[in-house]
Amino acid sequence: LEHECDVEEGDVFIANGWQKPDNFCDSAWESLSPFVMGLANGASDFYDGWMKNKKSAMISCNDGFRPVSFLLETLDEDAD
C-alpha cells in the first residue's frame, strides 16, 4: 500500500494559521497543528531554552511505522 505522507527531507510547507498546507499528511497535521497555531498566535519557547530560535518547535508526527520530524518556524509575514 502507498501511504499518504510522501514528505522528503528539505520539503517546505507554509501554513497560515489553522489551515493545513496543500499536499500535507492529515495524520502529521494532527500532531503539528497545535504547535503551528500556537506559533501563529505568538507562543514561543516551548522547550524552555532548548531551541536557539524561541519562535520554533521540533515536532514528530504520530506515525510509529514511518515517523517524520518537522522543524516549525514562524515567518515575519503572512502566508498567501
Beta bridge partners of 56: 73
Selection from 3, 40, 1, 2 nearest residue 18 by Cα = 40
24-67: pLDDT as tens digits: 888 889 999 999 999 989 999 999 989 999 999 999 988 878 78
pTM: 0.79
Q: What is the pLDDT of residue 1?
A: 42
pLDDT at 77 over 80: no
Q: What is the pLDDT of residue 66?
A: 78
Beta bridge partners of 58: 71
More confident residue, 5 or 30: 30
pLDDT at 16 over 70: yes
